[in-house]
Structure 1
């Protein structure tokens, strides 16, 4: 049986550094730091709960990033 490949390592990043940024700036910064997928979501958005390596999620409230989490 073949081994399951290990996921690629995630960028070493300080997630709190995105809070307060405009979503466009946060997206540019995240991609430049190596995040493969970046999502900007409104507060209370219904999203899937699976963890995706290399994905960064932003909750955008009043035109600014209010919360950040991986997966």
Structure 2
């Protein structure tokens, strides 16, 4: 039987630190800090609620991050 894969560790990074940053800059910074997936979403975008280790989500209003959360 194949071994069960161990989940990857998430970066020790506070998502709230991205709020207010210009979206492209926030995405570059998140990738530099080790987030494997960075997703920018418009307000009201319908998304699934599964949690993905290593993913950082941004809600972007007017070109700036208005909210950020893991998963």
* TM-score w.r.t. length of structure 2: 0.93
Matched, 1:39 2:39: yes
Describe the SS at the equivalent of 2:66.
strand
1:26-66 deviation line (CA, Å, top 9, x unaligned): 00000000000000000010011111110000000111100
- The residue number in structure 2 matching 1:19 is 19
1:60 corresponds to 2:60: yes
Gaps of 5+ in 1: none
In angstroms, what is the RMSD of aligned CA positions? Answer: 1.0
> Within 2, Cα distance between the matches of 1:51 and 1:14?
17
